Structure 1
Amino acid sequence: MARRNVAQAVLRVLLGLVYLAAGVAHLRSPGVFLSITPAWVPWPEFVIAATGVAEVLGAVALVGVRPLRRAAAIGLALYAVCVYPANIKHALDAIAAHGADAWWPYHAPRLAFQPVFVWWALFAGGVIDWPLRRRPAVAAGG
């Protein structure tokens, strides 16, 4: 198995586990997520439940349903983009409640890592192959 395929398989399973756990948490403990949902989100209880279902289905499709893998990867990447406002609100609420120093160890890495989750989903699902793609050979004399 090529190095890229091994990396994708490992990252696919890890990401699937992360999203499965997050989805179950959304469904079992929606109050935690309701508290960080921005006020402009309509029907927040429904949105939290729908995001939990989306995470579970996305994780299952990414890891276990090959024909849906690319669609799941794109969906999970878009999901990571869409929930970013909730992560920002969570960080700002922490700053307001506990001061700027209290939010840094948890929220700064979380906010910085969100683009990695987007890449992770796309790479693990085979939508992109960066950084492990083969570079074309450079033609001699040119």
Structure 2
Amino acid sequence: MSGSQRSPLLLAGLLAVAGVSHFAAPRQFDATIPRALPGKPRTWTYASGAVELALAAGVALPRTRRVAALAAAGFFVGVFPANVQMAVDWRHRPAPQRAAAIGRLPLQVPLVLWARGVAKGGAGRS
């Protein structure tokens, strides 16, 4: 399998694992939901997990890959405020947890670029 075929499936796998994680261990995601959002954090946790699962399915299928990958890029941008919230909330935690929270912030850039690369039909970042 070439890199251009493998990359979309890796992206789909990452989205699927993240989506399942939102349902399997929702508490850790609830804590990252920005308080400015209306409603209960668990609703947002489940909704974002469902979106990730739908994006995973869309990216995995060649027929819907381009649109789903573009939507995934937008989703990665959209969840950035949750990563900022986590970094702010975890600023007084032990150094490894603080580092993980801060490390998530720049991770969004390669995820967006990867999804855009998949949408363009290239390998993007795998």
TM bracket, shorter-chain basis: 0.7 to 0.9
Say which is worse superposed, 74-83 or 28-37, in terms of deviation. 28-37
Larger Rg: 1
Question: In structure 2, what is the Cα distance between the partners aligned to 1:55 and 1:126?
Answer: 20
Question: In structure 1, what is the Cα distance between the partners aligned to 2:83 and 2:76?
Answer: 10
Q: Percent identity?
A: 28
Instruction: Flag the 1:48–1:89 CA change in 2: closer, same or farther, 3 A.
Output: same
Question: In structure 2, what is the Cα distance between the partners aligned to 1:74 and 1:103?
Answer: 30
Q: Counterpart of 2:81? A: 85
Q: Counterpart of 2:93? A: 98
Secondary structure of residue in 2 paired with 1:66:
coil
The one of 17, 39, 54 aligned to 2:51: 54
Residue 104 of structure 2 corresponds to residue 110 of structure 1: yes
Deviations along 1:9-48, whole A, 9 cap, x unmatched? Answer: 2221111111100000112222111111110112232221
Q: Contact (CA 8 Å) 2:33, 2:44: kept in 1 or not?
A: no
Kindly report the root-mean-square deviation, in angstroms, between the aligned alpha carbons of the 2 structures: 2.3
Instruction: Flag the 1:29–1:126 CA change in 2: closer, same or farther, 3 A.
Output: same
Deviations along 1:77-131, whole A, 9 cap, x unmatched? Answer: 1110011011011111111x22778623x23332111111011111123267879
Instruction: Flag the 1:32–1:62 CA change in 2: closer, same or farther, 3 A.
Output: same
Secondary structure of residue in 1 paired with 2:54:
helix
Q: CA deviation at 1:71?
A: 1.1
* Structure 2 residue identity aligned to 1:87: N
* Structure 2 residue identity aligned to 1:29: A
Residue-pair matches, total: 124
Say which is worse superposed, 72-81 or 46-55, in terms of deviation. 46-55
Could you tell me which runs of 5 or more consecutive residues in structure 2 were left unpaired when the two chains were aligned.
none
Question: In structure 1, what is the Cα distance between the partners aligned to 2:103 and 2:47?
Answer: 26
Q: Counterpart of 2:18? A: 22
TM-score calculated relative to the size of structure 2: 0.85
